[in-house]
Amino acid sequence: RRVRGAVSMAKAKGVIDIKDIEILSLNPKVRSHATLKPTNITDKAKKHWKRNIGCETGCEKKNDFTDIKETTLTERGALFEAQRCLKCADAPCQLSCPTQLDVKSFITSISNRNYYGSAKYIFSDNPNGLTCGMVCPTSDLCVGSCNLAASEEGPINIGGLQQFSTDIFKKMNVKQIRDPSLPPLDKLPPSYKTKIALVGCGPASISCATFLARLGYTDVTIYEKEEYHGGLSSSEIPQYRLPYEVVDFEVKLMLDLGVKVQYKKELGKDYTLESLHKDGNEIVFLGCGLPAPKISSIFDGLTVASGFYSSKDFLPIVSKASKHGMCACKSELPTLHGNVVVLGAGDTAFDCATSAFRCGAKRVLVAFRRTFSEMRAVPEEVDLAKDEKCEFLPFCNPKAIILNPKTGKIQAIEFFKTEKDENGNYYDDPDSFLRIKCDFVISAFGSQLLISDATKPLTLNKWGFVECDPNTMQSKGADWLYCGGDLVGHGTTVEATNDGKTASWYIHKQIQESHGLTVPKEPELPNFFTPIDLVDISVDFCGMKFLNPFGLASATPCTSAPMIRRAFEAGWSFAVTKTFSLDKDMVTNVSPRIVRGTTSNHHFGPGQSSFLNIELISEKTAAYWCKSVTELKKMFPKHIVIASIMCSFNKDDWIELAKMAEKAGSDALELNLSCPHGMGEKGMGLACGQDPNMVRHICKWVKSAVSIPIFAKLTPNVTDIRSIAIAAKEGGADGVTAINTISGLMGIKTNAVAWPNIGSQNYTTYGGVSGNATRPVALKAVTAIANALPGYPIMGVGGIDSAEVALQFIYSGAPVIQICSAVQNQDFTVVDDYITGLKALLYLKARQDLKGWDGQTPPKGEMMTIKNIIGYGLPKFGPYHKERNKKLSEWALGVNLQTVSESPAKQPTLTKIPTIADIKGAALDKITNYLNLDNKQQVVAVVDEELCINCGKCYMTCNDSGYQAIKFDPKTHIPHITDDCTGCTLCVSVCPIVDCITMVPRKTPFVPDRGVDTIS
């Protein structure tokens, strides 16, 4: 390491001289004058820095089946996008989803890094949740209804978020189980052993079978004609949009429930619909799609050898060759070259078009009868094709194929130009046509079901779809036959999934009623469950049994008894009432009184990092609250109700109010000794809680009067909170609550008036700051008390907004958690996310095969990077971007598509799942005095060039707030850490890309820069 002390100073004239001229050359400077640069120089420069570089002609994609979806998100992108979501009431996104996904809740879970909870919401309503996250036409469904579409920043990437969390869950390798609250299979009536057959193992059948199995049906069999499952999801959606392992994963979840699949069983060859029914299947569900292509007569006699494919020929060959594990066949990609014309303007046509590039086509043209605005394909598909430089031929209807007379292969196609009449119908103009030279033609004009003896008693409508009741999916041909998916005109995966879901309930209803049983009037399909949901997160605390650690703090969410009732119904295990007093101390609040925090900067909507309030205690009487406690305990005997009470420093008042609350049936009392505004001026709250002697006496008075546990709620507005906690314990308090809000002034407007301000005088006062901004103070308070008073019961409060944060408080010594601001940011239902999140965190701690996970985040794993391929890194802009693409294209040509695309999941190894008691206080022995920290074990920063986006934030903060230890390349903008790095970690803190900069152990001894020699 270069020593920069006395040696470097010997060359300098003074200590203020700037020595790192080269390093600082690109550091920002305040401009003293306008900057002039000729346009021709800028034109050259912008080419060097340009990032949005597309293909100039047809993209070089041969053999490249890597993911191309623009919606795909990294964890950083998913967290950022999830935080944007407003989590709306009666969310239109959910109302626009065919499967009625609880979009608001699954995105909430992602924003809280509870990926299991998110996946649970998704799979509860959609057994094909990961598939739909990848291929769902969200712009026409949930995203098209997003309320943020009315804002400048635009709608949420719902599909990308759905894909992200379900893909993380896939990596967890956890089996599906039935709802443990339902009767076990051996306790169900014989009607649940009814034999049910499903035809085709595609999305509709997978969905239907999954819900039937969740309900408890044990004899459910799917008959699939291929040797693989997934239907069109596997055979006709390309690997770069939907990998086979995704479909395989969802089918395995179905198989976990006991559903059986028989392969190579083809309708019309091995059985008919009527033969299935005669073989004892009381119900048959038909979900086999539309297996036959619609082909114009002008293609009669043409074959693959001629250069002609239908989509039903082409896409399955591509899939079999590119999707590892789909079949045992050693299929190869179709060998295309030159110009390829794709006929049609639906999703399938565009899958054919983009697949053609990967099979060797140099130019791909998509021809269709109508105009751009009337294309049936979803925008997502069209945009991908445009990005890859597919060309479009609207108003074209095939007229004839021109064959090479010598080879018999296609050499051109002729089109009639189409026109639109006044009724909106298209017709061929016989006087207008064009000829396009081409080498291959792929017809993607749709599919059909060919009626035969095998499909009796099906009937088709005038559009060629199966006639059925759209509300129940029951066929009009027979009451034992149900249908869904493409067959009934529902061509998207999510619609097919919902058809299967809908059919499952009405199949269930029909079976049960045929056996003389009844079902609920409103459908009640079971949710998705796994062993994670069996994890015990109950807490024994001060003689009380908490169903889970999550409760509502004495604050706005507990303003009234009906609110607490709704909270208990949502899943909160306990609540602390809004603080009440004797009638003589009744208050009336001012308004406005609760405002968003300035700590969130210019972020509006939910997700505020802080609030400030000048609200006082409850305006309701002690009699109201005592009656409320009695009624709540009667209705919810297993839930904990804690009464929060406040008096001045008056023994008789405290004893009187405490006895009232105990008599009402309170499980415990919380003594509010910490309200930081208003009440202190009345000699209550903070006025008592800052004096250890007063705290000691009040606790002693109350403890002498009641037999239930009491907790002193502590204020952080003291020099050392430990002294207050010690006083509470000496006074007999069974435990403490830490912390109440922090006294503060949230901000002053440009007119010199604070907010909130009251009345015409615009007066304000110091209020209580709450929310995530208080978390560091709360964690310090809890850990300090826990270390000072080992084993002393603590209820943690302050900035808890997720299961991960709750875990931090449990590690700190507080096994029971109170929450307020997170509810103010959203609603009572967040507790469901906290419960599933904490269960998942405890479960994953017991999975030895997942030891490298950070909570619910999997390790990054081995990525195929440009550095792995060519031996050095390249930025993603300008000439480097072009070089990257060229090298990646060359690399793709040598990839064996039949090799495993990802490492197989390890066999789950589950040890004892820890309880909350097991992990309480686990972090305490790592919190020590500064002098115990080892300054010999130093770290330095390392930059991952592949992840780096070349922003230079690390470089700037190191220069102006650190040690000038980062060089910034003027050509590549790649930062390089020098030997002068002191390991301060500022660069990591400001880097916008997760894990782009990591800290690793220093390999050489650290020698601090002392500036000048010590003066003797």
Q: Are 439 and 307 in contact (CB under 8 A)?
A: yes
| Residue 724 near residue 576, CB atoms below 8 Å | no
Quote the CA–CA distance of 823 and 819 in Å, as a whole number: 7
Joined together, the tokens standing for residue 48 give 């060097």
Q: What are the Cα distances from residue 955, in Å, to 965, 966, 986?
A: 8, 6, 10
546 beta partners = 539
CA-to-CA distance for 113 and 169, rounded, in angstroms?
Answer: 12
Q: Examine the residue annotation and report whether 981 is marked as an active-site residue of this protein.
A: no
- Sign of torsion, CA 781 787 788 790? positive
- For 953, residues 6+ apart whose C-beta sits below 8 A from its C-beta are 987, 990, 991, 992
Closest C-alpha among 231, 203, 223, 199 to residue 326: 231
> CB count, 10 Å around CB of 84?
19
Name the β-bridge partners of 293.
447
Distance of CA 835 to the CA centre of its chain: 16
Sorted by sequence, the CB contacts under 8 Å of residue 842 that are 6+ apart come out as 535, 537, 913, 914, 915, 916, 919
- Rounded distance between C-alpha atoms, residue 742 and residue 799, angstroms: 12
Q: Which of 295, 301, 338 is nearest to 314 (CA)?
A: 295
Ranges assigned E (strand) in 424-469: 426-437, 440-443, 447-448
CB 207 within 8 A of CB 501: yes
Tell how strand 966-968 and strand 363-367 pair up: unpaired
In angstroms, rounded to a whole number, what is the distance separating the alpha carbons of residues 576 and 640? 9
What is the Cα–Cα distance from 418 to 427, expressed in whole angstroms?
5
H or E stretch at 837: helix 830-845
Residue type (1 letter), 586: M
Name the token pair of 919.
């992990």
Q: How far apart are CA 525 and CA 216, in angstroms?
A: 11
Terminal CA-to-CA distance of the chain, rounded, Å?
26
> In this structure, how many other beta carbons lie within 10 angstroms of the beta carbon of residue 466?
25
Which is catalytic among the residues 136, 675, 688, 958? Answer: 675
Q: How far apart are CA 721 and CA 990, in angstroms?
A: 32
What are the counts of helices (DSSP H) followed by strands (DSSP E) for the chain?
Answer: 31, 33
CA distance 165 to 81: 13
* Residue from 525, 544, 606 nearest 824 by CA: 606
CA distance 982 to 968: 17
In the numeric block, the tokens 């040696």 are attached to 7
CA neighbor of 564 nearest in space, from 620, 508, 492, 505: 620
- Neighbouring CB atoms inside 10 A of 1015's CB total 4
Distance separating alpha carbons of residues 378 and 22, to the nearest angstrom: 52
Asked if residue 148 lies in contact with residue 86, where contact means CB atoms within 8 angstroms, the answer is yes
Taken in order 719, 722, 723, 724, the sign of the CA dihedral is positive
Distance of CA 53 to the CA centre of its chain: 29
* C-beta of residue 460 within 8 angstroms of C-beta of residue 488: no
Task: Compute the distance between CA of residue 217 and CA of residue 173 in angstroms, rounded to an integer.
Answer: 24
Q: Is the peptide bond before 1008 cis (omega within 30 degrees of 0)?
A: no
- Residues with a known catalytic role: 675
